[in-house]
Structure 1
Amino acid sequence: MPTETGTIDERREGAPPRDESRKPRGRLLWWLFRGTLCLLAFDAVLQAVLAGRFLSGAYPMLNLHQLNATSVGVLSFVDIVVAVAAWRACRGPGSLALASVVLSAAIVAQIALGFRRVLGLHIPLGVTVIGLACWLALWVCTHQPQDRPFGRRAAGTGR
């Protein structure tokens, strides 16, 4: 007799529950989460390149830097939506959704500091944003939804 976690025979034998991330919708959302984070990380790195070009004397790059800041901000909010959807559909780690919220808050602060020309905080926060965005993108691209990026380990792992 089938149940949500498998047949009764599978449950008696101690078989692990089926991996929910194998569902087509879950896989699609996990790949969408990967793509969104990779695009966000690329765009964040592009921000540093545009800022460097501006500081090198190419003054029109400041306008592109400001325009790209909007793109990074919008992508960070899209990332939150996709992260929450992937968390719920794939039963992935909720800590990644929380990390996406933190990243988005840092990006909003980064944009506000940039427009106010508070470069003493804008530049170090920009480095932090790039590091976090790249780390999240790398982690999501090299792990599956059931992996836990931080927090308690699963019971029975022996570590």
Structure 2
Amino acid sequence: MMLLLALRVTVIVHAVSMFLQPVLAGMFLSGRDDMIDSHATNAAILTSITLFLTVLAAVGRRRRLVGPRAVPILLGLFVLEIAQLTAGTQHLLWLHIPLGVALFGATIATLPVLLGSQRAAEPKEAEA
């Protein structure tokens, strides 16, 4: 059950870190030039959290604590976050901003998939 707790805590930390990204970007756009470094640092942390979360979900899947959708969703999120990091460092704002919005939505969509995980991944026994 420690794995399930770690998974749930990590998914919440991931969501908070994702929410922080547009806040930091907004602070930068409001004239706080130093916030761009915080935005970039949080992006790297966010991507690392996603990788860790993917590994936790894969282990959780093997133990039937996580449903079959969790790992592919998290892998997709990780790949898109790498693309987002690249777009940001290359200053491709035409891609970086809409991809950030999509990642925010995808992060919110992962919450019920992962927070609702717990032996629900196992087939239910037929009632007699």
User: Which TM class, normalised by the smaller chain length?
Assistant: 0.7 to 0.9
AA matched with 2:87? L
**Aligned-partner Cα distance in 1 for 2:112–2:24:** 23
Q: Which residue of 2 aligns with 1:137?
A: 111
Q: Which runs of 5+ in 2 are unaligned?
A: none
Change (3 A) 1:145 1:119: farther
Counterpart residue number, 2:47: 73
**2:16 is equivalent to residue 42 of structure 1:** yes
Considering Cα pairs closer than 8 Å and 6+ residues apart, tell me whether 1 or 2 has the greater RCO.
2
Distance, in Å, in 1 between the alignment partners of 2:95 and 2:14 is 21
| Alignment partner of 1:53 is 2:47 | no
Length, aligned pairs only = 126
CA contact (8 A) 2:68 2:121 kept: no
TM-score between the two structures when normalised by the length of structure 1: 0.72
Going from structure 1 to structure 2, the CA distance change for 1:85 and 1:73 (only over 3 Å counts) comes to: same
* SS across alignment from 1:58: coil
Identity, in percent, stands at 28
Cα 1:131/1:145, change in 2 over 3 Å: farther
Distance 2:125 2:13 in 1: 36
1:88 and 2:62 correspond: yes
What letter is aligned with 1:66? A
| Aligned-partner Cα distance in 2 for 1:94–1:142 | 13
CA distance in 1, matches of 2:62, 2:111: 19
Structure 1: segments with no counterpart, 5+ residues: 1-26, 149-153
Amino acid in the other structure paired with 2:48: V
Runs (4 or more) in structure 1 with deviation over 3 Å come to 142-145, 154-157
Alpha carbons 2:50, 2:78 under 8 Å: kept: yes
Q: Choose between structure 1 and 2: higher helix proportion.
A: 2
Instruction: Give the corresponding residue for 2:87.
Output: 113
Kept after mapping to 2: 8 A contact 1:29/1:89: no
Letter in 2 for 1:47: Q
Q: 1:66 to 1:121 in 2, by over 3 A?
A: same
Change (3 A) 1:89 1:143: closer
